[in-house]
Amino acid sequence: MPTISRTGRTLWLAYAMIALAILAAGLFVAGERARNAALDALAEDVLSDAELKRALLVAVLDRSRTLPLVLAEDADLQAALSDPAPDLIEDLNETLADIIPGTGASVIYVVRLDGQAIAASNFRQPDSFVGSNYAFREYFTGAMADGTAEQYALGSVSRRPGLYLSRRVEDDAGRALGVVVVKVEFDTLEENWQRSGRTTYVTDTRGIVLITSRADWRFFTMADIPQEERLAIRESLQFGEAPLVTLPLWSLQAEDGHDIVATEEVTGAPHRTNLAIALDVPGRGWRMHVLAPSEDTERAALWQGRITALAVLVPLLALAAFLIHRSGRTARRTAEAKAAQAELERQVTLRTAELTEARDRLQAEIAEHRATDIRLQGVQQDLVQANRLAILGQVAAGVAHEINQPVATIRAYADNAKAFLDRGNGETAKENLGLIAELTDRIGAITGELKGLARKGRQAAEPVELKAAIDGALFLLKSRFAGSFDRLVIGDIPTDLKVLGQRIRLEQVLINLLQNALEAIEGKTDAAITIGLTRLTDDELDLAVSDTGPGLPDNVRDNLFIPFTTSKEGGLGLGLVIARDIVTEYGGRLSVDTGATGTTFTITLKRAR
């Protein structure tokens, strides 16, 4: 058998070392690039997840904040605080218990001026709030001083954490009678966060964990709190006997700039790394944090990058070895060719197995992404519903006024009818009963509009009378903007003109646009709003909602349809985005034209045949 000289062996050893160096460098660079790309994709996914979770949290908070406002105006509640007779207190307890299921609140209770609770929705339970004194709570003192207050705390009776929303109750002369308090607990929200598989928690301005998917992290802190401040918090009983120690988190700075933290799952042994995202929660100074496990993602990306590099480098190195091999002597070429062929076959077999494994992992990831898309579609529908409920909360106080007036009139007509019957005057009593029926129909129309707006779900497009949708939107906004409705001009819209859509969703679009227009002209005596058709063809039409307000600034106009971007204090930035998506879903368009003389939103819809 031919032999290879010492010089030849030295040369081949040098070639092998160079090839290994090239292969090692290529694998390292490819692995790091794949790892960074995977972290970028994970960060984008976690940010989207955090924004959706924040939007749902803000929707829950906004919905709950309207409840104390409405309850503080209730005549029965004011009467019970003015004269706490046993029968009035009993009726108030029953009323508070009855409205709990439809509000999403945990407990509603009424506190008199000395801080003692006189009525509560949980009056039947062993841990009822009735009789407890809350004069030491900030939500009581704050409401008495400023009219309204909020405080997240651990319940002194129930020992359950929650957000307390309070409002001062006053009589017709403006004198304080007491405070109505609504407690909101976030158990359902926390359970949803747990199912997402990502640690999610909300901290206050001091860095204390309030709402969390991990119950063992509640009332921990992001950083050490000074001893004096910690003692003051303990004395206030806001968080009970919680030690207020720091979270088991360690910050690790990744090379690509991502915020990576390690969590201590076993005492003294930090072993799990996470990609961290933090977002501000509008309105309270709270901050939402989402931690997504990153170890598996980084490891899979490193292997995928190295497999890809092997697929490219191994054939190239084999080809280079083959060319070098051909330049040697015939005997050495024959011997080394067999060795190179065997090595190449081994590498190909190994690479094929690795690529097969990588393909299986990729298919699993694709299936997971499809499932995530389905969940995101569900969350998008929840956001549409949250927007409708926010609108419902904004008009609730005005609608309550609309209902109170006919209810009072019904009572008067009923008393008169009874008196006429006692006198034997049946004809006049019959007239009064007819008037009562008409007022009942009016209340039914009001509540019917509210139920329709609150109804959840997506429906296929169907013929809808455009004028009926406009009338429904104006009906719900009438009470809230009664002072501005005399400046509203509605063009001639035929009653038989129909478009493709769904009435409740089209009303939601119109309410968003009309509400923005009415807010734009507030405080301007010479402003007006116009609703009318600007284009009508056989296939489609344009409906314009115009105001003569100050117009939209450039920075607001450029970001008008970007989610979570808003110029309103405490706004979600979703109203116009959802309105555009609804119109697009039914084959239409939503456009805007603004300037110094006002703003016009144009809705293009398909006509129904």
Number of alpha carbons in the 13 Å side-chain half-sphere of residue 583: 25
Domain boundaries of the chain, sorted by first residue: 73-185, 188-293, 458-606
Indicate the pLDDT class of residue 397, thresholds 50, 70 and 90: very low
Between 19 and 350, residue with greater pLDDT: 350
Residue 520's pLDDT is what? 85
Smallest CA-to-CA distance from 117 within 125, 105, 128, 106 is with 128
Residue 479's pLDDT is what? 64
CA distance 373 to 136: 48
Between 337 and 440, residue with greater pLDDT: 440
> What are 196-236's pLDDT values in tens digits?
888 999 999 999 999 999 989 999 998 898 988 888 888 88
DSSP per-residue string spanning 336-380: HHHHHHHHHHHHHHHHHHHHHHHHHHHHHHHHHHHHHHHHHHHHH
CA distance 576 to 585: 14
Other beta carbons less than 10 A from residue 345's beta carbon: 10
| Planar angle of CA 554, 559, 565, nearest 5 degrees | 120
In 73-152, alpha helices (H) = 75-82, 86-99, 138-146
pLDDT at 536 > cutoff 80: yes
Residue 404's pLDDT is what? 56
> What are 76-135's pLDDT values in tens digits?
999 999 999 999 999 999 999 999 998 889 999 999 999 999 999 999 999 899 999 999
Number of alpha carbons in the 13 Å side-chain half-sphere of residue 4: 14
CA distance 202 to 210: 6
Entry pTM: 0.49
Residue 398's pLDDT is what? 47
DSSP per-residue string spanning 458-517: ----EEEEHHHHHHHHHHHHTTTTGGGGGGEEE----TT-EEEE-HHHHHHHHHHHHHHH
Between 309 and 129, residue with greater pLDDT: 129
Residue 348's pLDDT is what? 80
Q: What percent of the chain has pLDDT over 90?
A: 34
188-293 against 458-606: fold identical: no
Q: Which helix (H) or strand (E) holds 115?
A: none
Which residue type does 208 have? I
pLDDT at 266 > cutoff 50: no
Residue 129's pLDDT is what? 94
pLDDT averaged over the chain? 81
Q: Which residue has the tokens 């979600």?
A: 572
Contact (Cβ atoms closer than 8 angstroms) between residue 558 and residue 518: no
Looking at residues 44-54, what average pLDDT do you find? 89
pLDDT at 169 > cutoff 70: yes
Residues 143, 148, 149, 155: is their CA dihedral positive or negative?
positive
Q: Let me know if domain 73-185 sits in CATH 3.40.605.10.
A: no
Reduce the secondary structure of 72-87 to three states and give it as a string: HCCHHHHHHHHCCCHH
> What are 127-141's pLDDT values in tens digits?
899 999 999 999 999
Contacting residues for 109 by C-beta, under 8 A, at least 6 apart = 96, 117, 119, 120, 121, 122, 129, 130, 180, 181, 183
CA distances to 60, 265, 466, 501 from 569, rounded to whole Å, are 17, 40, 32, 32
CA distance 148 to 167: 4
Contact (Cβ atoms closer than 8 angstroms) between residue 43 and residue 315: no
Contact (Cβ atoms closer than 8 angstroms) between residue 193 and residue 174: no
Least reliable range by pLDDT among 54-58, 408-412, 493-497, 517-521:
408-412
Give the tokens for residue 557: 């106009």
Indicate the pLDDT class of residue 306, thresholds 50, 70 and 90: low
CA distance 240 to 396: 36
Contact (Cβ atoms closer than 8 angstroms) between residue 512 and residue 579: yes
Q: Let me know if domain 458-606 sits in CATH 2.40.30.10.
A: no
Least reliable range by pLDDT among 160-169, 377-386, 460-469, 576-585:
377-386
Q: Let me know if domain 188-293 sits in CATH 3.90.1710.10.
A: no
Looking at residues 313-333, what average pLDDT do you find? 57
Give the tokens for residue 249: 């988190």
Residue 232's pLDDT is what? 87
Give the tokens for residue 7: 């010089």
Residue 180's pLDDT is what? 96
Reduce the secondary structure of 421-438 to three states and give it as a string: HHCCCHHHHHHHHHHHHH
Which residue type does 26 have? G
